[in-house]
Amino acid sequence: MEEKIYITRKSNLFEHSNGRGISLEEWSRFAGRDPEMRLDNATTVTLDNGSTYTYTSPGTAIWLDRLPGESAPREILFDYIDGAIEVNDPDARTLDKIRHIAFKLNSRIFSETKRWTEELPVSLPAPAPGFLSIGLFGSLKRYLPRIGYFFQHFAFAPHPNEADKINE
């Protein structure tokens, strides 16, 4: 099932008021500063006959997701549309990047499928202590991905201090 994720400042996905969106300049500045992103301002589509068609799309950025052990990065499209950033069918790593971007742009995340629309949390919930039931090493093994997310989100962010966080 196709899922679309939106990064926006609107209070709900169906709000049509102007002035609450992420500006093109703001998004371009953020994507230009992030070393993992490439600002293309164009979208390339592969047609059924195998040929490609490229059209101008201001604000379109590519996230170069480097998987461990892979030489070439995966290219994930972040499309800027009317004050929101849209990503189609994200996986868990892409959702982490979306949360990071939403946090830095002081915005919200909405998920939309054919059946429902819901708001997703911008930050991951804090892990509950489970040392007594699992043991020290089992608990650490379970929380290592969250610890890694913490360091990726805060320690290696392109804008590490709160002064760079963009306010409404």
Residue that the structure tokens 């990065």 belong to: 73
Report whether 32 contacts 44 (CB < 8 A): no
pLDDT digits (tens, 9 = 90+) for 116-143: 777 777 776 555 555 444 555 555 656 6
pLDDT at 131: 47
Task: Examine the pLDDT at 15 and tell me if it is beyond 90.
Answer: no
The pLDDT value given to residue 133: 47
pLDDT of residue 41: 84
- Band of residue 112 on the pLDDT scale cut at 50, 70, 90: confident
Q: Which residues of 89-99 are buried (b: 16+ CB within 10 A; e: fewer)?
A: ebeeebbbbbb
What is the spatial distance between Cα 152 and Cα 24, in angstroms, rounded to a whole number? 25
DSSP classification of residue 76:
E
Query: pTM above 0.75?
Result: no
In one-letter notation, the amino acid at residue 67 is: L
Assess whether pLDDT exceeds 70 at residue 111: yes
pLDDT at residue 165, rounded to an integer:
52
**Domain residue spans of the chain:** 4-123
Each residue's pLDDT tens digit, 50-104? 898 888 889 999 999 988 888 888 899 999 988 899 999 999 999 999 999 999 9
Burial (CB < 10 A; 0-12, 13-18, 19+), residue 4, is middle
